[in-house]
A and B are shown apart, each in its own frame.
Chain A
């Protein structure tokens, strides 16, 4: 099972990203199962929230929150702490929206805010980080993410978001290659 942990603040769309990822994965095949859910309970704009996506080739019985993730995605770098690495499985990766370049083979940095500003003209990075994830996670195709965005988002938002996802995919691929040098 591939487990993806999403970190964001209320209003940044972390759960929407978790759900689009699940949609994309199940569309990839008949033996593809996914669960996507937010951290449960009251919601508040700006407060830290987590969201979860589980992907598997068989039905998923364990519906509890992810403790150790294959990928932990941060829409907001202010939520990143030294303890964030402890939420990763062995070989797991952090994918962070940041302008910085963090020297760590476990960390993939993508300047999602810049892509958002340029293409979306909005400071929203949830779909952008899906593109970065697709660059790093071999189980999910960029085309499946694009298709899921078409299914899940209003028509007027689709093309811009897909353009932003592609840009993030390029950026994430570059960062990954740099990391493996």
Chain B
């Protein structure tokens, strides 16, 4: 194991190298990030034996990855923001074709207004596309996710593409210390990719198929079951990872001081780090608060949330996205799960960090204060009361 000072992009690239990806396709123009540049360096210097394919768009990048996956190659691509939206058509294709492609997405805002800073609107808009969606909290987790993602996606009963999300800039461009496993450890963890779902002269089969109304739903049902099967595969991969590489992760969500917490903030991505510091400060004043960091949005951690939220007085969801005309999509998913679990507690939704806006310690502290004072409903962090007031007058 080697200790290095790396950015999230570089850490993820190290993970892809250790996973021995065989085909990498990428469109290397903004909003692409340097994860693919680092991989190109590795192919060039011989430390990664892969074919690097430059394509002319993100749509082609994922199409190329599908083509490579359909002959049984372990494939990787990466994108961000508008690039992810441009490949949207292919996201559904890859998931429906059950190709276990791994993609790193640098979470960045979507236009208009044009903005290349971080938020999570890009990936969250694609929750229905049939991909596993994970969100890293730091660069170490990014590297480890790169390795684990292949194990999870390639499990036969899963056979589902995997989108690993890193907060744009805040994770992708920030350097921190990372432990890089040895290649021997990585090989012991991750077996070579083997699949029956490929073009083969010995066992010809139909790929990229048509399915009419009479049995179309059977395919969609199987796709749904495949994504649900990722839940057990994630737990299995993490146990195996802990045994072989020595770092342990906590499944679909991570809890921090939730056990006796009266007020819980649910969030995702790197902002959880600052939220943990706020929890420590409030706990030192005997205020019982906790954090849940959602590590996966698909499959969604319904059972885990139900268990973690027993006995809570009120909760808030802090997220960097908005489904215009409704609320934050993570909040919709959380509250639907609570309703189904029979948990009825006051809740609030905080939209923050859009277009890279900073979320401060004070703003997170305020969420807990609001919760303790019975606060509910939808709030936009950074919209001043007078701005809200103007809208009322406009009506």
Contact = CB atoms under 8 A, between A and B. Distances in A.
Contacts of A42: 116
| Residue from A27, A62, A63 having most chain B Cβ neighbours under 10 A | A63
Interface string A28-71: 00001111111011100000000000000001111111000000
B117 A41 contact: yes
Contact of A64 (B175, B177, B360): B360
A109 interface: no
B274 A34 contact: no
A161 interface: no
| Residue from B116, B177, B274, B359 having most chain A Cβ neighbours under 10 A | B177
Interface in A95-136: none
A111 B270 CA distance: 39
How many B residues touch the partner, as a band? 20 to 34
B350 interface: no
Interface string B255-272: 000000000000000101
B72 interface: no
B273 A37 contact: no
A10 to B, nearest CB: 15
B276 A35 contact: no
Chief secondary structure at chain B's binding surface: mixed
A19 interface: yes
Nearest to A32: B177
A65 B348 CA distance: 27
Given A26-B3, A41-B116, A41-B117, A63 B177 contact: no
Interface residues of A, number: 22
Nearest to A30: B3
Contact of B273 (A19, A23, A26, A63): A63
Given A23-B5, A26-B3, A63 B274 contact: yes
A8 interface: no
Interface in B66-120: 116-118
A40 B273 contact: no
A13 interface: no
B358 interface: yes
B276 A61 contact: yes
A41 B357 CA distance: 12
A33 B5 contact: no
Given A23-B5, A26-B3, A34-B5, A63 B270 contact: yes
B182 interface: no
A42 B173 CA distance: 13
Contact of B175 (A22, A41, A65): A22
A40 B173 contact: yes
Nearest to B169: A40
A26 B274 CA distance: 21
Contacts of A19: 5, 175
Contacts of A33: 176-177
B277 interface: yes
Contacts of B358: 64-65
B170 interface: yes
B174 interface: yes
Given A19-B175, A42-B116, A62-B361, A37 B5 contact: no
Contacts of B270: 63
Interface in B239-292: 270, 272-277
A38 B173 CA distance: 8
Contacts of A63: 170, 174, 270, 273-274
Interface of B: 3, 5, 116-118, 169-170, 173-177, 270, 272-277, 356, 358-361
Interface of A: 19, 22-23, 26-27, 32-38, 40-42, 59-65
19 contacts: A26-B5, A26-B177, A27-B3, A34-B5, A34-B175, A34-B176, A34-B177, A36-B5, A37-B175, A38-B173, A40-B169, A40-B173, A41-B116, A41-B356, A60-B176, A61-B272, A63-B274, A64-B274, A64-B358
Given A33-B176, A41-B117, 17 more contacts: A19-B5, A22-B175, A23-B5, A26-B177, A32-B177, A33-B177, A35-B174, A37-B175, A40-B117, A40-B173, A40-B356, A41-B116, A42-B116, A60-B273, A61-B276, A62-B274, A62-B361
